[in-house]
Structure 1
Amino acid sequence: MRRTLAASLGTAVALAGLASFAPAGHADGGGKDKRIHVVWPGHSIQKAVDRARPGDVIRLKAGAYEGGVLVRKPLTIEGDGDRTVLHPGRRDHCAKAGAAGEGICVIGHRKHPVRDVTIKNLSVRGFKQSGVYGLYTDRLTVERVLAARNGEYGITEFRSTRGRFVKNRAIDNSADAGLYVGDIQNARGTVVAYNHASGNAIGLLVRHARHVQAWENELVGNCTGAALINDDQKGGQGDTKLWKNNISRNNRSCPQHEDVPALGGTGVLVFGGDHNTIEKNAVLGNRGRLPYSGGIVLFPSPKGEPARHNLIKFNLAKGNAPFDLVDRSGSRTNRFIDNRCRTSDPRGLC
């Protein structure tokens, strides 16, 4: 499993988952060099990807397909909505790139990221690791994808920049996060917007990453709604804006899983992050009994790095337990401004 928190939250608390091709005459009219490759159910998406030229479109008809699709060039993979389903099969092409167990893996290199890949209008279900996995990508777009019941993550972006996760559903990816952005000092404005995440350990996880924007997501029914995590690697986590999200009733109970501690009953967790803005969110009914349960909760990192210079303002935070707002950050630099809440620790944050 890829590390989610890199060190246990529990430690910190103690311290304070054969293609059919359209002939050339059927090329898309959007440009003379762009081709559309039509793949029918039961045929190989990977063969279409391998034969495609940069900028081509792989169009998947409704039906079932084997996943484990490896993408290393700019192209679009487009399905017919939820009726286009990728599932684990006999051959896992992602394993050749060291990423076994992924539904679709988009993998570049540190100095040469894969650019301008779009994956949209399809389902990825039941993979051992993630539904969609991006590593060293730039401008990866994942749109209207259903990532369900994968073993670790739903939709991910590691060491990548300028991604767009829009209008997706990440459901029951129970071991880790439904939506993940991480391991990049500057994500250059990666956008996570209008998504639904439920039944995951964490709805949205931003770990060891900066410059991410997340708005108007529905993060409900997870163990933790949103988590901004500094795992004490160089660069930390910060400069992320979380606004106008519905982060409610994240009251599932998740047992400890490898380096991820038990989770439950937390709306927003800021874990050693800095210069984040949490604004105009509805954080309602997140209730638990863990030290980091509650509405909006600030804690130090595992090694005791304070959560500092964070701005929490104009949020509606009510019905959370044990408190609507919690500042155990280890710093006095965080600002709580005009939040509508009833309870806080320490007193006076509402």
Structure 2
Amino acid sequence: MTKRQIAYLACTVALVGSGLGAAAPAAAGSPKVHRVKPGESIQKAVDAAKPGDTVVLSPGTYRESVRITTSNLTLRGSTVFPTVIAPGKAADDTCAKAGHGICVTGKDGSPVKRVTVRSLTLRGFAKNGLWASRTDRLKIHRVTAEKNGNWGIALERSVRSVLTHNVARDNADAGLFVSNTTDTESGAVDAEGTKISHNRLSGNRIGITVRRLRNLTVDRNEATGNCAAVFVVGDESKPRAGAMSLRQNYIHSNNKHCPKTPRLPFLQGSGIVLTGAEETLVAKNRIEDNVGSSPLSGGIVLFKSFVGALNERNEIRDNVVLRNGSADLANRDTGKGNTFSGNTCEVSEPAGMC
């Protein structure tokens, strides 16, 4: 062995001994997985998690409410056997006190960002299964929200949200509810491309409610067995609600009866209802067998809002709308610029739109 080879080997040994030639250890800030079993506290794991971490719940039933205020956090259950979150003992926590199951909440000017909630069942809460306020890029995927006292999954003051492949059933009000705000009166806000897609809504008062928002899509959802399937709600405030698209949804047999409220008549047999909206596209939906005698009954219904705001410049085209009562297409409004074209239907109000 030459002197040069001996010197090379000595250098190599020194590098390995010092750790420079070994694999680098995991960075202190690497994402972690926090695992929780039934009987353990979900909230404790969420509080310990850092941005980028995942909290994984084993199958079983957890009786607590959970509040998420950390950005870039994932909370998920089992993808094989059900993970259920249900009401538990009263807790000294704003989320639990409000009667919600999961709360994802940011602050004015500082939204909580990129939170994902997936593969969970939220059942039997006094208010909402999942409540989100002041969020950005919230993802809710394969969540079942059932038998909650108000909304199944509800968002306000939130942008760029993605709600996909969820099930909302037998909730007292809307299965999915998205809104500008719920505690103040203001004009519609830009939802910045919020997407509501491939969800199944059944047995609710209303399947999906979109209230005072602009710039979002509602596509490829199925709604059946509700009192009403989809409500787009606006009013006289500015900006107006609208500038959204409702496409390729399957809406059928939403014939449950719901009594009137201070703001709405009784509901039964409503497919898609627009009230006080503008510049909304309703296209390529299949809407069948929604039958009732409410002022809001029918396949696709335009109805002035309950403060008198009119629908204007909405486009209703290329839908299959059949066997709905009292009409497949109903324009019970006096707003200007609403168009109906290319629809397959049998009965319209006024006549001549089929």
What corresponds to 2:343 in structure 1? 339
Which deviates more from structure 2 when the two are superposed, residues 65-74 or residues 256-265? 256-265
SS in 1 for 2:191: coil
Once residues 313 and 323 of structure 2 are traced to their aligned partners in structure 1, the CA distance between those partners, rounded to angstroms, is: 26
The answer to whether the Cα contact below 8 Å between 1:44 and 1:66 also exists between their aligned partners in 2 is: no
Please tell me whether residue 223 in structure 1 is matched to residue 227 in structure 2. Answer: yes
What corresponds to 1:87 in structure 2? 86
Matches for 1:224-263 after TM superposition, within 5 Å:
224-257=228-261, 259-263=263-267
The answer to whether the Cα contact below 8 Å between 2:35 and 2:56 also exists between their aligned partners in 1 is: yes
Distance 1:97 1:169, change over 3 A: closer
Distance 1:89 1:305, change over 3 A: same
Task: Identify the match of residue 70 of structure 1 among 64, 67, 71.
Answer: 67
Deviation readout 1:41-82 (Å, 9 max, x if unpaired): 111100011111112100000001123111101200010146
What corresponds to 1:33 in structure 2? 30
Please tell me whether residue 164 in structure 1 is matched to residue 168 in structure 2. Answer: no
Please tell me whether residue 298 in structure 1 is matched to residue 302 in structure 2. Answer: yes
State the aligned residue count: 320
Which deviates more from structure 2 when the two are superposed, residues 198-207 or residues 75-84? 75-84
SS in 1 for 2:177: strand
Letter paired with 1:56: D
SS in 2 for 1:188: strand
What corresponds to 2:326 in structure 1? 322
Note the residue ranges of structure 1 that are not aligned, 5 or more in a row: 1-28
Matches for 1:19-58 after TM superposition, within 5 Å:
33-58=30-55
SS in 1 for 2:242: coil
What corresponds to 2:315 in structure 1? 311
The answer to whether the Cα contact below 8 Å between 2:64 and 2:96 also exists between their aligned partners in 1 is: no
Once residues 290 and 343 of structure 1 are traced to their aligned partners in structure 2, the CA distance between those partners, rounded to angstroms, is: 16
Deviation of the 1:37 alpha carbon: 0.2
The answer to whether the Cα contact below 8 Å between 1:244 and 1:279 also exists between their aligned partners in 2 is: yes
Please tell me whether residue 176 in structure 1 is matched to residue 180 in structure 2. Answer: no
TM-score (norm 2): 0.87
What corresponds to 1:21 in structure 2? none
Deviation of the 1:33 alpha carbon: 1.8
Deviation readout 1:267-323 (Å, 9 max, x if unpaired): 010011111110000010111001110100001112221101101000000000010
The answer to whether the Cα contact below 8 Å between 2:313 and 2:339 also exists between their aligned partners in 1 is: yes
Deviation readout 1:223-242 (Å, 9 max, x if unpaired): 00101001444423101110
Once residues 213 and 68 of structure 1 are traced to their aligned partners in structure 2, the CA distance between those partners, rounded to angstroms, is: 30
Once residues 198 and 307 of structure 2 are traced to their aligned partners in structure 1, the CA distance between those partners, rounded to angstroms, is: 34
What corresponds to 2:114 in structure 1? 116
The answer to whether the Cα contact below 8 Å between 1:207 and 1:231 also exists between their aligned partners in 2 is: no
TM-score (norm 1): 0.88
| Higher RCO, 1 vs 2 (CA within 8 Å, ≥6 residues apart) | 1
Task: Identify the match of residue 208 of structure 1 among 191, 212, 227.
Answer: 212
Which deviates more from structure 2 when the two are superposed, residues 245-254 or residues 255-264? 255-264
SS in 2 for 1:211: strand
- Superposition RMSD on alpha carbons, in Å? 1.8
SS in 1 for 2:273: strand
Once residues 127 and 261 of structure 1 are traced to their aligned partners in structure 2, the CA distance between those partners, rounded to angstroms, is: 26
The answer to whether the Cα contact below 8 Å between 2:123 and 2:129 also exists between their aligned partners in 1 is: yes
The answer to whether the Cα contact below 8 Å between 2:146 and 2:169 also exists between their aligned partners in 1 is: yes
Distance 1:314 1:30, change over 3 A: farther
Note the residue ranges of structure 2 that are not aligned, 5 or more in a row: 1-25, 181-187
Task: Identify the match of residue 268 of structure 1 among 272, 275, 285.
Answer: 272
Once residues 133 and 242 of structure 1 are traced to their aligned partners in structure 2, the CA distance between those partners, rounded to angstroms, is: 23
Deviation of the 1:258 alpha carbon: 5.2
The answer to whether the Cα contact below 8 Å between 1:213 and 1:240 also exists between their aligned partners in 2 is: yes
Deviation readout 1:22-44 (Å, 9 max, x if unpaired): xxxxxxx9995201000001111
Once residues 39 and 197 of structure 2 are traced to their aligned partners in structure 1, the CA distance between those partners, rounded to angstroms, is: 32
Task: Identify the match of residue 146 of structure 1 among 144, 147, 151.
Answer: 144
Once residues 201 and 60 of structure 1 are traced to their aligned partners in structure 2, the CA distance between those partners, rounded to angstroms, is: 30
The answer to whether the Cα contact below 8 Å between 1:85 and 1:123 also exists between their aligned partners in 2 is: yes
Asked which structure has the greater CA Rg, the reply is: 2
Distance 1:348 1:131, change over 3 A: same
Letter paired with 1:156: A
Deviation of the 1:209 alpha carbon: 0.9
Deviation of the 1:99 alpha carbon: 6.6
SS in 1 for 2:312: coil
The answer to whether the Cα contact below 8 Å between 2:131 and 2:155 also exists between their aligned partners in 1 is: yes
